[in-house]
Amino acid sequence: MKTPPVIAEIVGPSGAGKSTLSAAINSVDCGIEAGLTVWGLPLISLVWSTLLSAPDLLGLIWERKQFRQDELKQVIRLGAFYRILTHKGAEAGSDHKAFLLDEGVVFALAKLRADIDSEFRSKRMRRWEEKALDRWSSILSTIIWMDAPDEVLIWRINNRAKQHRMKNSAEDSMREFLARYRAAYVEVIDKLKSRGKIQVIKFRTDELDPRAMVGEILAYCSGVGVSPKSPSALL
């Protein structure tokens, strides 16, 4: 009987290096597929998810008497993404060690919390979030938390080619943005941990380069685990 691949999500504030780590992993033939995301899913999967999510979508619209597109889109995306991942996991060969998500369920739910004040999240939306957490906790086994001091993240956001809505904003605004997203990530991660045996691995990306992180992640996915002498730590 083959061992199912690890399903993990790389999370952390903007500028932490999530995309860089995913690219570094994908450049090595190590049996790990990284960079899977809720964005850019196949149209047929989104249409099917819309049909299956119709009761939730209609309930959200009825409760508010209006559309809140960011919420409705996340309901559809996460439903489609979950089905795609479970299918990939079932079809993966014995040499496939892991699937690493970049902007997956933790990101999607944290984004809703960070961008929408809790007082504006409806009761039905909260119930849907709890149902999504129950579902994802059954397949997500590991969270790879990447972070760095605010001054490092701010410099990276302002100086990288990738566009970002906070790029070149006032420093106080950028620090508030980073703090808000960190808090949202922690809330979602805590809820997932309360539902199952989810391992959280933390990396300080100002202290460890991507190649060293790739080595640790490969060791972890191969069953060796993370070295206690590393700058990374288990939460």
Does residue 154 lie within any of the structural domains? Answer: yes
pLDDT tens track of the chain, all 235 residues? 567 788 999 999 999 999 989 999 998 877 889 999 999 999 999 999 999 999 888 887 887 665 578 788 889 999 999 999 988 877 766 677 889 999 899 999 999 888 876 656 678 888 889 999 999 999 999 999 999 999 999 999 999 888 888 998 999 999 999 999 999 999 999 999 998 788 999 999 988 888 888 888 888 887 744 443 344 443 3
CA-based radius of gyration for the chain: 18
Does residue 182 lie within any of the structural domains? Answer: yes
Cβ(9)–Cβ(104) below 8 Å: yes
Number of compact structural domains in the chain: 1
Closest CA to 231 of 214, 206, 211: 206
In what order do the strands lie in the sheet containing 233-234?
32-36, 98-102, 6-11, 142-147, 199-204, 233-234
Does residue 16 lie within any of the structural domains? Answer: yes
End-to-end CA distance of the chain: 31
Does residue 67 lie within any of the structural domains? Answer: no
Any residues with CB less than 8 A from the CB of 106 and at least 6 apart, and which?
9, 11, 143, 185, 188, 189, 192
Does residue 157 lie within any of the structural domains? Answer: yes
Residue 103 lies in domain = 6-39+95-234
Does residue 229 lie within any of the structural domains? Answer: yes
Does residue 159 lie within any of the structural domains? Answer: yes
Does residue 63 lie within any of the structural domains? Answer: no
> What CATH number corresponds to the domain at position 164?
3.40.50.300
Cα 196 to chain centroid distance, Å, stands at 17
